[in-house]
Amino acid sequence: MPAKFASKVEGRTVRAIDRRAKYLLIRLDDGQTLIAHLGMSGRMTLHDAASAAAHPLDRHDHVVFDIEDGWQVRFNDARRFGLMLLVADEALPKHKFFKGLGPEPLDETFDGPALAERLAGRKTPIKAALLDQKTLVGVGNIYACEALFLAGISPRRSAHTVRGERAAKLVETIKQVLLRSIDDGGSSLRDHVQPGGELGYFQTRFNVYDRAGIACPTRGCGKTVRRLVQAGRSTFYCARCQR
């Protein structure tokens, strides 16, 4: 937390809120941007006056913003992997958090050729490449597994071989999985909740993630979902459907 953080944000007006990669960008009226990252299990919840009164502060509510009309925003971070930082607007593009980041997967300009270009010459497994924020941003472990399954691409496949129709199909399924997850409020496996406190329910749509030993959902496949560990992360896939 920056020194004198409270005094620097007190009385400020929020001009806009947007996002880059996994960072929330809260634009303030004094030319600064509040960067927030939820870390492993952090959350931001919204409370109106009645809700705030009915729900006392939790010991892991490390930052609390009181805003107009009695509303309150609470930043809860039990594991303390999250962060908040104030940066001048003009310094954002060159900030260490954003320098070298790949494209946003939901951007209209992100397509098969764009992905293939970023994978060219890379011998790492495609699953690891998707989790690399220099390839593209915001695709986490769950969504990489699900997108690769829908695209029929093995997580072991060398990244540089994903080009042409394969790359186009993978971009399509990445966008499909992310948009469905947004509509469903995310995946509540352990800690994730929506700003209003509701659980996400994209986990009810999983095809392969966390389904090791369960039958592949593809009709007529007959195989079960497998699990392997890649770069310290669990990967779930179907050896028959994904090549």
| Element spanning 174, H or E | helix 164-183
How high is the pLDDT of residue 203? 62
Q: What is the pTM of this model?
A: 0.85
Q: Which residue has the higher pLDDT, 186 or 92?
A: 92
In degrees and rounded to multiples of 5, residue 110 shows phi and psi of -85, 110
Q: Would you give the DSSP letter of residue 101? A: -
Q: What share of the chain is helix, strand, coil (3-state, %, to 5)?
A: 30, 25, 50
Q: How far apart are CA 4 and CA 86, in angstroms?
A: 11
User: What b/e sequence results for 45-78 when a residue is b if at least 16 CB atoms lie within 10 Å of its CB, and e otherwise?
Assistant: bebeeeebeeeeeeeebbbebeeeeeebbbbbbb
pLDDT in tens, 56-115: 999 999 999 999 888 999 999 988 889 999 999 999 999 999 988 999 999 999 999 999
How high is the pLDDT of residue 96? 93
Residue 1 has pLDDT above 70, yes or no: no
Nearest of 1, 31, 2 to residue 15 by alpha carbon: 31
Domain ranges of the chain: 5-94, 112-237
pLDDT in tens, 25-59: 999 999 999 999 988 778 888 898 888 888 899 99
CB 110 within 8 A of CB 104: yes
User: What b/e sequence results for 213-234 when a residue is b if at least 16 CB atoms lie within 10 Å of its CB, and e otherwise?
Assistant: eeebeeeeeeeebbeeebeeee
For 5-94, CATH gives: 3.20.190.10
Q: How far apart are CA 146 and CA 179, in angstroms?
A: 12
In degrees and rounded to multiples of 5, residue 180 shows phi and psi of -65, -40
How high is the pLDDT of residue 182? 82
How high is the pLDDT of residue 185? 61
Q: Using alpha carbons, list the distances in angstroms from residue 7 to 12, 45, 69, 180, 243.
A: 10, 22, 21, 40, 55
pLDDT in tens, 111-162: 999 999 999 999 999 999 999 999 999 898 999 999 999 999 999 999 999 9
In degrees and rounded to multiples of 5, residue 179 shows phi and psi of -65, -40
In degrees and rounded to multiples of 5, residue 161 shows phi and psi of -85, -5
CATH topology of domain 112-237: Helicase, Ruva Protein; domain 3 (1.10.8)
